[in-house]
Structure formats: C-alpha cells, structure tokens
Structure 1
Amino acid sequence: MNDTAPLLVERHGPVALLTLNRPETRNALSGEDLFSAFETVLAALDADTDVRAAVLTGAGSAFCAGGNIAEMRDRTGMFSGTPDEIAARYRAGIQRIPRAFARCRVPMVAAINGPAIGAGNDLACLCDIRIASPQAKFAESFVKLGIIPGDGGCWLLPRVIGASAAAELALTGDTIDAERALAIGLVSRVVAAEDLLPQALALAQRIAANPPQALRWTRQLLWQARSGTLDEALEAAAALQGHAHQTEDHHEALAAFFARRAPVWTGR
C-alpha cells in the first residue's frame, strides 16, 4: 500500500477498505491525482470478482470537507478561467467521481468519521449505506459560497432523503449533526467513534457473505432504479434474473438450503 496515495486501499478478505488520504486538506476533493485515483480504484474493484463489498472513510478528523476553498478564493485549478472553461473542468474533473461510482457494481458503505461538507456530503450519498460517528456533520453548503452542487448533488440527495429534506439542506446550506442526519435518513446508524470502522467493516463482511454475482446485480438494479421507470426496472430485473437462475451459486444456495448447511460460493 502506497501511504502517500490520495486514496488508500486495504484488503480485509472480500472487503476493500478505501481511505481518503489528504488529512492536511481535510480530504478535499480536488486535483487530477485524486480524480484519477477514484477512477482507477473503483474500476479495479469492479474487475476483481474476489471483492464483494467496500468501505469508504477519511483519514484524520474529517470524512471529506468538499472542494478546495483556497483554490476557489485564488481562482486556481478547476476554478480558473471563463464560465465555459470552468464548466469543462468540472466535466473533466470532479464529475468523473460520480460516474466512476455509477460504473462500479461493488456495494459501498461510507464510514463517516467527521464532517462531510459540500462535495463531501455528495460523496457520502454516492455510497449505498452510510454509518456516522457522533463527530460527523453534514452540509449541502454550496449556496453559502454562492455556487451550486456541481458534482451531481441535486440528483443524489433527493434520492437518499427525499425531495423536501434535500431542498431544505440545499437551499439553506445548513449544517446538521449526526443525530439529525439519522432522523432524516441520511445515515442508517450513529455509533461511537471507536466503533465506527469496526461496525462498517462488519456490515461490509455481512454483505460480502452473499454470492458475488447476485450482489453486483442487485447493486446495479438499485442504481438503475434511481432514475428509471417501473417498466424499465422490471425489464432489467427480468434480464438479470434469467442469468442469476443459471449460476452455480444459485444452485449451491438451493442445495445448501435443503441440506441445512452453509453454502460455498464460487462466483460462477
């Protein structure tokens, strides 16, 4: 493991632990190296059938503080140039992260150890399940800076917490604590800081105990359902179910059920 990489990867059996590794910037989402790291790492996870689930967390005291405010102030990096140039940099920069998540079929648990602000809140919403420590704070705070969620937050957030709650967060820019995040469904549980990573990894291991192909197909359907119609969801489910019924793991699941034993998955 390269300890200087912007996104660290550590294996725990069938679970991959991903750690944003820029504590000096509170894990701000900026720079070609980080955008490329997300693309490379998530593509590698998707290609590795031995990986059945993943956990994403942040190094240091923050999960992810969002965009680099200093670069915004100085109008450098992705925030420099004309409106058209900035738009092009968003497309070629931070917007690669949500696209990489959409392509990756590995279920993802966010272990939110501290503030998840702006693009950091949206990054948490890209994960399938979110667990927070009491130190976590959340804000869809773009409007406070006179900008909008340029990384897809207005698509992501309503699908996680509903239209009204998402509008309240996005239009006020208010910061909420972990307990409020739990109440509105932004996270599924709040646990003590020392228990956060162990519980996130344990949840990922429970996910990973299931057949790998079925996991990836289920995650794929969950993502497609965010924007598709019922008819589209039913058609996709029928097509994938046809393949699922022919897998060795499905046959093994049935055999194990009737034999009252634990199944052994092969991923085939």
Structure 2
Amino acid sequence: MYETILFEKAGGVANVALNRPKKLNAFDGTMHEELYAALDEAANDDEIRCVVLRGEGRGFSAGADLAQIIEGADGDPDLGEYLRGTYSRLVKRMVSMEKPIVASLHGPVYGAGVGISLACDLRVAAESAKFSVAFIKIGLMPDAGVSFFLPRVVGLGRAVEMSMLGDPVEAEEALRTGLVNKVVPDDALAEETAALASRLASMPTAALGKTKLALYASFEGDLDTVLEREAEGQTFCGYTADHKEGVKAFFEKREARFTGR
C-alpha cells in the first residue's frame, strides 16, 4: 500500500516506520503524503489507541531530501512554500491527533528529523541516537516545528545553543536535558518501545487525547482559557465508558480495564 513507509497494527498499536534507509529516511514528497495518510488512518481507526513512529536502517531520519527539493524547483526553491505543504501540515496533524504518538529513535536524528521526533508525545532513544539541529550548517533556520517545540522541551538557553551551533547531542545528554524520556541499549529499543506503546494502548484513550491537546494549548492561552479548556475536556471525558469503568474499579478496589470507549 505504501512505498516509503511501513504500516502495521497489532494490539491496539499502529507501528509506522520511515522506510527510505538508503537515504537515511530523508523525507521526499511521497513520504510526506504517505505518513500523513497513515496518521489519518490511525486517527480514524477506533481499534488503534497508540502510534509508534520509528526509522528503518541505520537511523531515524536525516530530515528533508534536499536533492529532491532543489531538483524539483530547478535549483531555486521557495522553501517557505515547500514547508507549508509538507512539514507544517504534517506536524500540525501529529499534534492535533487525539491519540499518543511514541517516537522510537536510533542513530542520526537530524534537522527536520528532530522536529518530527519532537512532534511525537513521548520519545524512547537507543544509546546510538544522536540529535543535531543541523539547519545552520546549510545557512537555514530551524523548521518542522523545531523552533516551537525545542525551547519548550529543553529550555530557551539550550535550544539557542543547539540551533545556533548545530553540534550533535548524544543520547545520554538528550535524556539529561529532557529531549527524550528514556534511553535504552540499542538491542532493547524495540522491546522497550513496544512495552510503552502497549501500556498507552491499554489506557483511557479519550482522556489521553484531551490531556495532549490541553497541554499543547496551555502555552498559548491565559488562565481563563486553559481552565475553560479543562472544563470542556472533562465534560467529554466524563461521559466516556472508560471514566465509568475507572470509577467502578476505584470503588471495587481493582485495576481498571479500559477499552478506549
């Protein structure tokens, strides 16, 4: 079905892999369209309650396929127009998706690959993972949401350093600064990611989705706006079967069995 990604679902989890390993999973136009379509498919499938995003081959992603961009524009591309139809659209879809997305990261995570990883909700990194906001090395500013997410995740000072210098950040340093949530040996990455995804897929999906939207929106709203968003979200969650099951389990002193409904 797809040419540049792999897509499979099992146990409530959609596993999506960037699959251009010979290009270090650099994004071309087809990959943008296919990843967007796969996220739409996952968002609209009630059986899917969590998404895992990873890269095939020796790393997660080198970012944009510059050769294709330049070739497609006869050597002088309008990069802003390119972004509006690709990364900007994709990142907004990821953030607005009311299901958790887990990034499973190994090897190089460079340029726009950093932005895509940050647009995921949780990040598990292998010890081999290496992060570089590399745009400055080709005379560009960060894109793919990096300038939005990075200062919020690691703080303004660290974000300025990473963006202006473009130096690579090793996995352990990424963990220390909050860029990733967990670092594991490379041979344990798949297992650790699967365990986290399985845990999320067994949780109350609607509540996770409303939590995600509220947390992202909190940076852009005043207190009254945030409080009203909480009230609206809680109204929705309060009528779900998962909430009723959670309350019932609480009073019966047992583990809740959430169904995502």
> What residue number does 2:149 align with?
156
Superposed CA RMSD in Å reads 1.8
Q: Aligned equivalents of 1:224 and 1:7: distance in 2?
A: 30
Match of 1:81 in 2: 76
Give the 3 Å change call, closer, same or farther, for CA 255–68 of structure 1 in structure 2.
same
Equivalent pairs: percent with the same residue?
36
- The answer for unaligned runs of 5 or more in structure 1 is none
Match of 2:58 in 1: 61
1:45 aligns with 2:42: yes
Q: In the alignment, what sits opposite 2:15? A: 17
CA contact (8 A) 2:64 2:112 kept: yes
For residue 102 of structure 1, the aligned residue among 91, 95, 103 is: 95
Quote the residue 2:236 is aligned against.
243
For structure 2, the residue ranges without an aligned partner over 5 or more in a row are none
Secondary structure at the aligned position of 1:131 is classed as: strand
Question: Does the 8 Å contact 1:49/1:212 carry over to 2?
Answer: no
Which position in structure 2 is the counterpart of 1:233? 226
AA at the equivalent of 1:264? R
Q: Name the structure 2 match of 1:176.
A: 169
Distance in 2 between the 1:129 and 1:79 partners?
38
Query: 1:142 matched to which residue of 2?
Result: 135
Q: 1:39 to 1:71 in 2, by over 3 A?
A: closer
- How far does residue 251 in structure 1 lie from its aligned partner after superposition? 1.4
Could you state the TM-score of these two structures normalised by the residue count of structure 2?
A: 0.93
**Residue in structure 2 matching 1:197, options 190, 208, 214:** 190
- Residue 58 of structure 1: how far off its partner (Å): 0.3
State the secondary structure of the residue aligned to 2:123. strand
How far off is 1:161 after superposition?
1.0
Letter in 2 for 1:29: F
The TM-score normalised by the length of structure 1 is 0.91
CA displacement at 1:80 relative to structure 2 = 4.1
- The one-letter amino acid of 1:50's match is E
| Preserved CA contact (<8 Å) 1:46 1:106 | yes
